[in-house]
Structures are given as structure tokens and as C-alpha cells.
Structure 1
């Protein structure tokens, strides 16, 4: 009886561990591997059209995060377990000659992976991502001053659903020029686990990967939007990525944060050109 009880407990624990996994990965195709990392609240499916427009044959690994896209939340801290699990995943899958492509927060994870995984990663594309978002949004504010238990976070947690939806819609309109995408993008935030949304964003604001950039030597393509102005964005990217030596910065005209929606053909061209030139 004890053996049966132990076996049942082991199976239950294993199922719980799987249900609370930090990431979910969809794998497809054959060839050199590409790991696609979406941004905050965003499902991995945001990369579907990009994958369909790749020139050549690749094995794609598309990630979604706990607490978003209908996945079970993992609590706090949130960012670090996702990063650690991604590193484990690359090693478990024995991915070599790997290109990592990340949008927004996915770019932060891509930066961490490139720095941590050494020879595993041979290509890096960062799409409208900044290594220290806090410095742009809250200049001079130290990470130590940002806590999960704060008046702003508590307000967000307690916000009525209608008010939260209005906030999500407003934010979505600031991130794309395509009105037909706004409802979908807002829906990602509305459907998210609220604590993951609030506390996960705190994790992002605390990040500063600028020192980490010194550990990345591979050729890196940085793609940015030009909203609100090209000059302002160019200066921001150059300043934030000062510590990254082997880089090219390219900006998409008439685009907000979701370049894959506002300038998809430009994005495909940039990614395909990089993959061709960086082929090993």
C-alpha cells in the first residue's frame, strides 16, 4: 500500500511540476535551430508569420511564458525561472549553431542566453528590445527601490476589469499602427494572470543587462522602431547598447513597438539577410 501511495504521489508531483513549467515550447521543422522569444504578455504565435517567411529550412523553437497565453502561473520571481529554464532547454535539446530572436522582453532573455550559453549561440537578433527599460522610463531610479508590494502594483491588482481593459487598449494603441491588431493585443493582457502581469513587469523594470552585453561577442542585429522619432530612437539604442561591440542597428520607418505588425516585410528582409550572412 505504501508503494502505491508513493507512486501516486510521485505521479501527482510530476504532473504539478509540468503544469507549472516556466515556459512552453512548440518545435517544428528541420535544419539549424532558431529560438523565437516573444515579448511580455505575448504568445509565441506572434512569430508565426515571421517563421512562414523565413528563407531556407530551419528547426524553430517558439516559446510562450507561464502566466500568459493560458499557461499556469509560477509566482515570483518570474523572469529568473524563465531565463534558467530556457538555458536548461537549450542544453537538453543539444541546440548548437543556434540563432536566438527576441522581441521586447524576449530580447532581454535572448541577451541573457547569448551571454550564458557561449558557443551554443552563434546568432542574435533583438527586435525593439532595450537592456535596461527602467533607465528609459524611470531615469535615475535604482532597481532596489522597486518592490512587488507597492502602491502602484496594488492599484493594478485591484483595478476593476473594465478599467484594466481600457488601460490595455490604450497601451496596445501605443504599440502598433495597425488598428485591427489592437483588440487582439489588449486581449493578451486581459487574459493574463493578473499577478504575473503586475509582478512580472516589476521584474522587467529591475533588469539592467547593460553590463552583460560585454560578454557577447557574436554578431548581433538590433532592429528598432522609429516611434516617436527616428533621431530619438537611434540615440536610445546607441546609448543602451554601448557595451555591445559587434552590432548593427537598423530602424524601421513608420513603426511602433510591434514591428512584425507595422513593417512585416521589412522585418522578414532584415532577419533573412542576417541569417544568410551569418550562416555557418
Structure 2
């Protein structure tokens, strides 16, 4: 009797355990052609709230990653687990003619998915995402040189609340214009799992989407923020995406990295225009 009771318990508990191990959480709403909304690093799916409201007539799948937005963290390598779970999610839900909209790291994921699932993906929007961040931030440094240990990693992991607050103030100030939006993004980052926040960023620095660009057949819109680097930001993006054939660029001269928060009307209009072509 005890064995039977234990078996029933495990059968009901197993799906919950599997869900807890997933590297993504997805909230779905609406009906129509599916859109997968992929946020940037350390921000939950709520960052897409204004964009989602401007996309009636679509079925929206809003993603939050493990370690952020209250989703249980997973072991490293983190990015690869997210990519694997997204592929499985798209296949399991039979999402066809799928539109991918990704900001920053979400843009990298969108490119990976477009290359991995060409028969599922119809269009891609990449919002201010470098194909290889390391090449711009650490030119000449190979991915193999980056790891999950070292003095800088130890310092970031040991950072106290005061030091982290100051660090995040500087980070959000560089990436977002409006104080209210800066405060919101900062609060999400403060709530993030520290290990994911530190080591997940190493995964991003190791990432290089450039080799997969020639294999992407879906049309891609690359949206570029002009601040704080000016027109040079667009030139950098053009170099990064040289190997991508079916692409177009949209440049927001006065926006910072979080384009959809800095210039929501321009962002939404540009996206809708691209989707309706």
C-alpha cells in the first residue's frame, strides 16, 4: 500500500519537477499568428508589456529566463539550456509561421532559433543585439579564454547590496533614458539570482552568432540604438551582420539600449510595419 501511494505521489510530482528544471517560463495570450517575445539579459518578460499591447491579433508567447523574474535558476552553461528549451517549446507547441522578437540577448536567441528551426520561423526582429558582443567589448580575446572563475567573477559574486546598487545605477543609466524605467530595470536586476547574473554574462561574452548568419533565411529587422555611440553604432552593427543576407536596419538616433522603453511608439510602429510587409 505504501509503495502504491508513493508511486501515485511521484507520478503527480514528476511533471512539477520537470517544470522546475526548465530554463524558461512562458506566458501565452491572444490568438493568431504566434510571436515569441524574448527579453534581454536579467530582465523578465514583463519588459515587453508596452510592445505586447501594440500587437493585437497575434498569439503572444512571452518568455522569462531561469534565474530572472522569479524563475528557478539552472546550472551553467545557462544560455545553451535556454536555447534548448526554446527549441523544444516551439516544437512541442507546433508553432508555425513564428515571428521572433528579441532584445539584446533575446536577439541572439532569436537568431539561434531562426537558424535551428528555419521551417518554423517566418520573420525575426533583433533589437540592439550584437552578433558577437565579445568582439566589440574585448577585441582579440577568444571565447576559450573566458571561464566561470577568476578575481573579477569572485568580486562580482561577493558584491554587497550597496556596491551592487551603485553598479546597477551606472549600468541602467547607460542603457535607459527615463528615470522610472531605470528604476524598474534596476529592481529586476537586484532580484535576479546572483550566480546567474554573473556567470550567465560569461556565457554571453563567449557567444558568437556570426557563423550561423548565412544559414538564416527568414527576413530580419535589426533595430539599432544611437546612444551613447551615435552613428558609429549603426556602422558596428552593419559589420557584425555582414554575413546575413535578408536583412534591413532601423536606426533610433536618440534611443539608448532599451529601445522599446526609450521610444515605444517608434519601436512599435517600426515592428508592425516590418511584420505587415
TM-score above 0.5, yes or no: yes
1:44 pairs with 2:45: yes
Listed one character per residue, the Cα deviations across residues 8-40 of structure 1 (whole Å, up to 9, x for unaligned) are: 344444322212321110101011111000000
Cα separation, 1, equivalents of 2:214 and 2:126: 16
Partner of residue 58, structure 1: 58
Written as runs of structure 1 = structure 2, the 5 A alignment for 1:130-145 is 130-145=130-145
Q: CA deviation at 1:45?
A: 1.1
Partner of residue 147, structure 1: 147
Listed one character per residue, the Cα deviations across residues 61-94 of structure 1 (whole Å, up to 9, x for unaligned) are: 0000110001110121111111000001111111
State whether residues 118 and 218 of structure 2, in contact with CA within 8 Å, keep that contact through their aligned partners in structure 1: no
Cα separation, 2, equivalents of 1:61 and 1:250: 24
Q: CA deviation at 1:148?
A: 0.4
Partner of residue 74, structure 1: 74
SS in 1 for 2:62: strand
Q: CA deviation at 1:7?
A: 3.2
Written as runs of structure 1 = structure 2, the 5 A alignment for 1:235-250 is 235-250=235-250
SS in 2 for 1:81: helix
SS in 1 for 2:117: helix
1:258 pairs with 2:258: yes
State whether residues 35 and 100 of structure 1, in contact with CA within 8 Å, keep that contact through their aligned partners in structure 2: yes
Cα separation, 2, equivalents of 1:209 and 1:98: 20
Partner of residue 30, structure 1: 31
Partner of residue 3, structure 1: 4
Listed one character per residue, the Cα deviations across residues 176-198 of structure 1 (whole Å, up to 9, x for unaligned) are: 11112111111111100000101
State whether residues 123 and 219 of structure 1, in contact with CA within 8 Å, keep that contact through their aligned partners in structure 2: yes
Written as runs of structure 1 = structure 2, the 5 A alignment for 1:150-229 is 150-229=150-229
Q: How many residues align?
A: 276
Cα separation, 2, equivalents of 1:140 and 1:10: 51
Partner of residue 116, structure 2: 116
Structure 2 stretches of 5 or more lacking a match? none
TM-score scaled to structure 2, two decimals?
0.97
State whether residues 35 and 62 of structure 1, in contact with CA within 8 Å, keep that contact through their aligned partners in structure 2: yes
State whether residues 100 and 121 of structure 2, in contact with CA within 8 Å, keep that contact through their aligned partners in structure 1: yes
CA RMSD of aligned residues (A): 1.2
State whether residues 125 and 223 of structure 1, in contact with CA within 8 Å, keep that contact through their aligned partners in structure 2: yes
SS in 1 for 2:276: helix
Structure 1 stretches of 5 or more lacking a match? none
State whether residues 230 and 251 of structure 1, in contact with CA within 8 Å, keep that contact through their aligned partners in structure 2: no
Cα separation, 2, equivalents of 1:166 and 1:20: 32
State whether residues 124 and 220 of structure 2, in contact with CA within 8 Å, keep that contact through their aligned partners in structure 1: yes
Listed one character per residue, the Cα deviations across residues 245-277 of structure 1 (whole Å, up to 9, x for unaligned) are: 110011102111001111111101110101110
State whether residues 37 and 101 of structure 1, in contact with CA within 8 Å, keep that contact through their aligned partners in structure 2: yes
Partner of residue 269, structure 1: 269
Deviation above 6 Å: which 4+ runs of structure 1? none
SS in 1 for 2:100: strand
